[in-house]
A and B are shown apart, each in its own frame.
Chain A
Amino acid sequence: MELSVLDIVLWGVLPYVMVVVLVGGLVWRYKYDQFGWTTRSSQLYESRLLRIASPLFHFGLLAVIAGHFFGLVIPMAWTEAVGMSQEFYHFNALLVGGIAGVGTLGGIALLIYRRRTTGPVFMATTRNDKTMYVVLTAAIVFGLWTTLVSVFEGEHGHNYRETVSPWFRSLFILQPDIAAMAEAPFSFHLHTLVGMALFVIWPFTRLVHAFTAPFHYLFRPYIVYRSRDRDRNGKRRGVQTGAATRTPSTAARPGWSAVGTRDRDTRNR
């Protein structure tokens, strides 16, 4: 099969561009925007819906990630070597993947509903958040679509473990198997592209909190002592908030903007 230029760009070039933006963006943001690196929780405003929707979404997403790992990283030959038939694998992937996908989608749908309908939560939603929600939801929806298509097509359906997965693994040895990916159906192409878009915007959205998941908590001592003058790496540093005790200027700085609602009184200052 002839590889078109588009195929080469999409499946040979774009993944590496994505990795560069993702890694570079994360490093840059971690270095320069520690203060902005947070979950930006809205639980203070509303917790009844959040209590259901957020764990549903997050645990669903963890299952989805595990499923992606299983499907993309573990070669078909390996599962067959341990005696797992293609039918059995397929059934399991669809069942577990379907449940996880529906849970994740339900979770994010509820979260978006909550975000839109709860006044304070919607007011705290930035344009950045909205863009992120669109891409994230699209990635989930298109991913679920590939799964559902497989369900309806049954055994005659597309086996992504012969196209997408080899391509995914080949990316890591810097010899992308573009032909394999090009053969995959449109639904997989779409899901992969939106997924890559998600990773590209990741470092620049609130999603970064995933990269500081606090596993360290399991191992650190409960009580943390730290010197006033030195941070945990022994470097001297400025301390705690950007509290000002000195300057005559009243200009806002991170975390120090004036009280007020943006609709009326700030306009009149």
Chain B
Amino acid sequence: MRVMAQMGMVMNLDKCIGCHTCSVTCKQAWTNRAGTEYVWFNNVETRPGQGYPRRYEDQERWHGGWVLNKRGKLVLKAGGRVKKLLGIFASPVQPELKDYYEPWTYDYKTLVDAPLGDDFPVARPKSLITGEDTKITWSANWDDDLGGSAEHGHLDPIVEKVRRESEDKIKFAYEQTFMFYLPRICEHCLNPSCMASCPSGAIYKRVEDGIVLVDQDRCRGWRQCVTGCPYKKIYFNHKTGKAEKCTFCYPRVEVGLPTVCSETCVGRLRYLGLFLYDADAVTAAAAVTDPQELYDAQMDVLLDPNDPAVQAEARAQGIPEDWIDAARRSPVYALAKVYKVALPLHPEYRTMPMVWYVPPLSPVVDLLRDQGHDGEDAGNLFGAIDALRIPVEYLAELFTAGDTDRVTAVLRKLAAMRSFMRGISLGNDPDDSIPESVGMDSQTMYEMYRLMAIAKYEERYVIPKAHVEQAHDLEEMGCSLDFDGGPGMQDTSPFGEASGRPVPVAVETFNALRDRQTSGGLEEGSGLRGRVNLLNWDGRGAPPGLFPDKGPEPGTLAAAEDQP
């Protein structure tokens, strides 16, 4: 057993209102740059719908993820190592811009500069790729709220599959039945196929927290990762020629802050926390024969952080004590493995995804209410879940490789929680038979309710800080001229767009800045080894290190220096 820690996320789809705040704040934080105009590390899809890029779930076309070969061995669907190298000169199944969408802006200048006249000036859409006038035909969420689904609805790969299996009996009944939003980020998989596809070995999983990142220095732009990722969550920056992906906001997570998408989520539907897992068991778990058993296999890989044996092994592997403690308090572990209400997205891709989803019960409740029933009565809800085959099958294709029983079990738990808590809120005695009917006890159900409905900030986000205190040298290790606008930092260098050295991310500055803002004292500078970061200095006093040491002569700095 090799215990490793993994940051994970759970999204409660019942709470998603499809406001796209997560997408917008993520874009502002990470991808509002040239070359990533079309890139959304976080996007929100309306399901049923084609998704972004369009029909990314159709792996017969995009060849993402893993499959078992004839001998039952786990291989990349896009082909083995030799085949990949032979196909390297033109990545054969890479989505094109038209599969995402052609990003655009508007010619706002016309609105301001147009001369006085009878006609209203118009801001024409301009392509951000060519700069020419363009016609907007698609975007990352063009089919938002089932927009155009009468025309495009059948193009959803899962609708296709569910229909095929039900032999076309269902003709767009799903439209009236349900709709929900699916926010997606990188899954930060335990068995990432993007990483396995990368010829350069530039994609790596961080030992400390399992976040999957692209080393921008080692990426050579072979683009095989774009093919390899079945979720199509690796994007090619067409200006820098490098692959980029969701970073799980690692600079924030390292200092204990939730990701931007989680922090800004209006519905508070996201949970962040740690999993402890057995790294040695991952490959075997990803290679179980029956895709519907992948969920169970994935569950077995996740270790119980309350088990003393697991804790001892974690300590032996050098996982810090506060991380083990955070794993014990982890909301994502609770939702995924204790309450078993969070499911992985498309386990059949065999990548062991680590972003989990609580499937939505609301379509069922809404339908019952619309039909005049009591949508929160346990009996009604249980009956409806069983009767509503279409949404359950659809959800099963998303979350359990088609196993409807598992999805039904989760929905029944959510329904039971509603009824149980409604009884309590109405002042009745807790009806213990409701939790028992879904295999839970009242206490556990109440705790689940607390985590899912009350969802306090500290309970939703249990993020242990990175142990950067040993790694102070991370910051400002580069040449002192490599700051923004420094001489080495031209936008376009002679070797094409954006060559040159990157500036290291400074975790330390965050801490220094916050200490400075909250302490009220002078800049301590302890992390900076006697130097002062002028960007953080707000003019209050003269911290030690601001000026060179003047020697024994008493000066104005003496008072400041005397402070502890």
Q: Which residues of A contact B (CB under 8 A)?
A: 29, 32-47, 50-52, 54-55, 57-59, 119-120, 123-124, 126, 128-129, 204-206, 209, 212, 214-218, 220, 222-229, 236-265, 268
Picked from A42, A214, A253, A260, the residue with its CB within 8 Å of the CB of B220 is A214
Q: Is the CB of B207 within 8 A of A228?
A: yes
Q: How far is the CB of A112 from chain B (nearest CB, A)?
A: 16
Is A251 a contact of B485 with CB atoms below 8 Å?
Answer: yes
Interface residue from B82, B468, B501, B503 paired with A32 (Cβ < 8 Å): B501
B456 part of interface (Cβ distance < 8 Å):
no
Q: Which of B466-506 contact A (CB under 8 A)?
A: 466, 468, 470-471, 473-474, 477-478, 483-485, 489, 491-506
| Residues of A contacting B484 in the complex (Cβ-Cβ under 8 angstroms) | 244, 247, 249-251, 253
**B164-204 Cβ-contact flags toward A at 8 Å (1 or 0):** 00000000000000000000000000011001101111011
B124-139 Cβ-contact flags toward A at 8 Å (1 or 0): 0011111110000000
The 3 closest A-B pairs by CB, nearest first: A238-B504, A36-B499, A214-B199
Quick check: B535 and A247 within 8 Å, CB to CB?
A: yes
Interface stretch among B83-91, B385-393, B549-557? B83-91
Q: Does B525 contact A (CB under 8 A)?
A: no
**Of A47, A204, A258, the contact of B495 (CB 8 Å cutoff):** A204
Q: Output the nearest chain A residue to B214 by Cβ-Cβ distance.
A: A240
What 1/0 flags go to B212-240 for Cβ under 8 Å of A?
A: 01111111111100000000000011111
Closest B residue by C-beta to A32: B501
- Tell me how far the C-beta of A128 lies from the nearest C-beta in chain B, rounded to whole angstroms: 6
Please pick, from A129, A222, A246, the residue contacting B506 in the complex, using a CB distance under 8 A: A246
Contact between B201 and A220, CB atoms less than 8 A apart: yes
Query: CA–CA, A41 to B110, complex, Å?
Result: 34
| Pair B218/A39 contact, Cβ less than 8 Å | no
Q: A223-B282, A228-B250, A244-B505 are in contact. List 6 more A-B contacts (CB 8 A).
A: A46-B96, A243-B30, A251-B484, A252-B489, A255-B237, A261-B131
Contact between chains at A238 and B478 (CB < 8 Å): yes
Known contacts A33-B495, A254-B500; A45 and B85 CB within 8 A of each other: no
Pick from A209, A227, A229, A268 the residue with the most CB of B within 10 Å: A229
Judge if B45 is at the interface, Cβ distance under 8 Å.
Answer: no
Give which listed residue, A47, A58, A216, A226, contacts B205 with CB less than 8 A.
A226
Residue B432 interfacial (CB < 8 Å) = no
Complex CA gap A40/B219 in Å reads: 11
Name the one of A215, A225, A237 contacting B204, with C-beta atoms under 8 angstroms.
A225
Instruction: Determine whether the beta carbon of B132 is less than 8 Å from that of A119.
Output: yes
> Do A259 and B130 touch (CB < 8 A)?
no
- With a cutoff of 8 Å between Cβ atoms, the chain B residues found around residue A214 in the complex are 85, 88, 199-201, 220, 222
Residue contact B109 to A253, C-beta cutoff 8 Å? no
Q: With A40-B241, A41-B236, A128-B495 given, is the CB distance from A223 to B107 under 8 Å?
A: no
Flag the segment in B33-41, B319-327, B328-336 that touches A.
Answer: B33-41
Question: How far is it, in angstroms, between the C-alpha of A206 and the C-alpha of B473 when the chains are bound?
Answer: 33
Flag whether B97 is at the interface (Cβ < 8 A): yes
Complex Cα distance A214/B88, Å?
A: 10
Quick check: is B156 within 8 A (CB to CB) of the other chain? no
Q: Which residues of B sit under 8 angstroms from A40, Cβ to Cβ?
A: 221, 241, 496-497
Residue of B nearest to A212 (CB): B220
- The answer to whether B195 and A223 touch across the interface, beta carbons within 8 angstroms, is yes
Check if B292 is an interface residue, CB within 8 A of chain A: no
Q: Once bound together, how far apart are the Cα atoms of A239 and B244, in whole Å?
A: 13
Cross-chain contact of A264 among B131, B491, B493, B504 (Cβ < 8 A): B131
Contacts of B191 in A (CB 8 A): 223
Contacts of A261 in B (CB 8 A): 105, 126-131
Q: Is B81 an interface residue (CB 8 A)?
A: yes
Q: How many residues of B contact A (CB 8 A)?
A: 102
A253 to B478, CA, bound (A): 14
CA distance A212 to B88 in the complex (A): 13
Residue among B35, B126, B238, B471 with max Cβ neighbours from chain A (10 Å): B238
22 contacts between A and B (CB under 8 A): A33-B500, A43-B91, A45-B238, A51-B90, A54-B89, A57-B89, A59-B89, A214-B220, A218-B81, A222-B195, A226-B215, A228-B466, A229-B470, A236-B477, A240-B215, A253-B502, A253-B503, A255-B498, A257-B239, A259-B37, A261-B126, A264-B107
Nearest CB on A from B263, distance (A) = 13
Q: How far is the CA of A223 from the CA of B281 in the complex (A)?
A: 13
Complexed CA–CA distance, A245 and B236 (Å): 22
Instruction: Give Cα A35–Cα B242 distance, bound, in whole angstroms.
Output: 8
Residues of B within 8 A of A123 (CB): 129-131
- CB distance B207 to A36 under 8 Å? no
**CB < 8 Å: which of A42, A223, A260 contacts B105?**
A260
Q: Once bound together, how far apart are the Cα atoms of A206 and B496, in whole Å? A: 8
- Closest approach, in angstroms, between the C-beta of A165 and any C-beta of chain B? 29
Q: Which residues of A lie under 8 Å from residue B149 when comparing CB positions?
A: none
Which residues on B sit within 8 Å (CB–CB) of A128?
494-496
A250, B484: Cα distance in complex, Å = 8
User: What per-residue 1/0 map shows which CB atoms of B84-108 lie under 8 Å from chain A?
Assistant: 1100111110101100000101011
Contacts of B493 in A (CB 8 A): 33, 36
A252's closest neighbor in chain B, by CB? B491
Give the distance in Å from the alpha carbon of A217 to the alpha carbon of B220 in the complex.
13
- Name, among A206, A215, A252, A255, the residue most crowded by chain B CB atoms within 10 Å (CB to CB): A255
Q: Provide the residues of chain B in CB contact with A243, threshold 8 Å.
A: 30, 247, 251, 505
Contact A238 B477 (CB under 8 A): yes
Chain B residue contacts of A46, Cβ below 8 A = 96
In the complex, chain B residues whose CB is within 8 Å of the CB of A257: 33-35, 239, 491, 498
Knowing A249-B485, A257-B491 are in contact, say whether A227-B132 is a contact too (CB < 8 A): no
Cβ of B25 < 8 Å from any Cβ of A? no
B208 touches A227 (CB 8 A): yes
Partner of A239, one of B107, B127, B198, B213: B213
* Chain B residue with the shortest CB-CB distance to A266: B34
Known A-B contacts A39-B221, A237-B504; A47 and B130 likewise in contact (beta carbons under 8 Å) = no
Asked if B94 and A35 make an inter-chain contact with CB atoms under 8 angstroms apart, the answer reads no
Do B92 and A51 touch across chains, with their CB atoms under 8 A apart? yes
Are A254 and B499 within 8 A (Cβ)? Answer: yes
Contact call A265/B109, Cβ cutoff below 8 A: yes
A246 contact set on B, CB distance < 8 A:
506, 509-510, 513, 535
Note all chain A residues with C-beta closer than 8 A to B35.
255, 257
Complex Cα distance A129/B499, Å?
A: 14
